[in-house]
Amino acid sequence: MSKALINRRFPVKRAAVIGGAAIAIIIVLGAAFGRGAAKEDADAAETTTSAATVMTIENTLSSDGEVISSLEEKLSPHTSYYLEEVKVEAGDALEEGDTILTYTNGSKMTAPYSCVVKSWDLPEEEEQLTTDHSVTVAGTDVLQMELSVSENQVSLIKAGDEANVQVEAADADFEGVVTSVSEVGDYSSSGSTFTAKVTFENDGSVKLGMSGTASIVLEKAENALCVPLGAVTTSDNESRVTVQKEDGSTEEVTVTTGIRNDAYIQITDGLSEGDTVAVPVTEDDSSGFGGGFMNGPGGMSGGGSDGGRKPGGDGGQPPGQRN
């Protein structure tokens, strides 16, 4: 059968095929335009606004760790006496004045402060004590936590800085102080780390080995003009925000930034209080910015009485013999 004859016998079907293909193209293009429009609407919906607000902003370093003693030492027994009996076991908690061991002459060695007995090196009973013998104890009046500090943060920390320690098991917060910052870091390819020690006074509720969280305020600014962190974008060493005007129009403004934390960033130049800025909304934060404003200096709740001891000190009492 010739092509001319086929075309004459089936003209309707051919037209239908052509028409169907045209309709399919229109549908595909319509869907593509629809998706584009939907994306534009979605992009527009993923932005909220926030006013530049005056507040107190803090940049803090926090680290979880083990509570340890700030004072561990070996107590020396009386070297001219003979051991009668050891009155403690490893792990015993003692108060100042509690008996550790007794001598054959009736005198005794007592705990110089609240402590936990860790170990001892003593002779058999009835044998003479020498300078080689000792009892190792760890003080419980003053405790410590260690924080890992990055090389980018270590210059912001110094001995004497205030700190806060939270011990969840004891349901308590303590005021602490940074007592030392290591001068030599531990190198790694991702950056060196340093160790800062935070010391705090125990109120009697915290036991050695409990877990806690120590926090140090690295930077703090009061009466600072701040916006949500997500409002600021930085490129080519310039920071910018999108300001929304009263008439609904927007303008990109260059700003100078200061202290920042996980939620907010200080603006030192380029904005005024009450200016409205655009803030992208993230998937895990439908408001576009998390957390509440810090309206005042972050106070730290206190621990217990000092019992005559200061952080990092020895309580004014030397270890050793009590007769």
Q: Kindly tell me if the per-residue pLDDT of 66 is higher than 80.
A: yes
The whole-number pLDDT of residue 185 equals 95
Q: What is the pLDDT of residues 30-56, one digit of tens each?
A: 444 445 444 444 444 488 999 999 999
Residue 3: band (very low, low, confident or very high) from pLDDT cuts 50, 70, 90: very low
**Count of alpha carbons within 13 angstroms of residue 260, beta-carbon side:** 13
Does residue 318 carry a pLDDT above 80? no
Q: What is the pLDDT of residues 172-197, one digit of tens each?
A: 999 999 999 999 999 999 999 999 99
Q: Residue 119: which CATH number?
A: 2.40.50.100
* Contact criterion met (CB below 8 Å) for 62 and 218: no
Q: Could you tell me which of 110, 79, 96 has the C-alpha nearest to residue 323?
A: 110
**In this predicted structure, what is the pLDDT of residue 46?**
85
8 A C-beta contact, residue 218 and residue 156: yes
Q: Is residue 300 part of a domain?
A: no
Rounded to whole angstroms, the Cα distance separating 281 from 43 reads: 10
**The predicted structure's pLDDT at residue 285:** 53
pLDDT band at 281 (very low <50, low <70, confident <90, very high): confident
- Summary mean pLDDT of the chain: 81
Other residues' Cβ atoms within 10 Å of the Cβ of residue 212: 24
Q: Can you tell me the mean pLDDT for 154-160?
A: 93
82/103 Cα distance (integer angstroms): 6
How does residue 231 score in pLDDT terms, banded at 50, 70 and 90?
Answer: very high
Does residue 122 sit within a domain? yes
Domain-located, residue 298: no
Total domain count for the chain?
A: 1
Q: Determine, yes or no, domain membership for 94.
A: yes
- Residue 230: how many CB atoms within 10 A of its CB? 22
Q: Residue 254's pLDDT is what?
A: 96
The pLDDT > 70 percentage for the chain reads 73
Q: Is 141 helix (H, G, I), strand (E, B) or coil?
A: coil
In a domain, 114, yes or no: yes
Of the candidates 147, 145, 140, which has an alpha carbon nearest to the alpha carbon of residue 211? 145
Residue 210, in any domain of the structure: no
Span 116-125, average pLDDT: 97
Q: Is 292 exposed, middle or buried (0-12, 13-18, 19+ CB in 10 A)?
A: exposed
CA–CA gap between residue 101 and residue 92 (Å, rounded): 13
Residue 225 clears pLDDT 60, i.e. is over it: yes
Lookup: tokens for 242: 């999108």
Domain membership of residue 118 as a residue range: 77-132
Rounded CA separation 27/34 (Å): 10
Does pLDDT of 9 surpass 50?
Answer: no
d(C-alpha 253, C-alpha 243), whole Å: 7
What's the confidence (pLDDT) of residue 297?
A: 34
User: Measured between alpha carbons, how far is 310 from 217 in angstroms, rounded to an integer?
Assistant: 21
> Would you say residue 96 lies in a domain?
yes
User: Is residue 295 one of the residues assigned to a domain?
Assistant: no
Read out DSSP for 204-226? S---TT-EEEEEEEEEEEEEEEE
Model confidence at 157: pLDDT above 80 = yes
Provide the 3-class DSSP secondary structure of residue 145.
strand
Is residue 323 over pLDDT 70? Answer: no
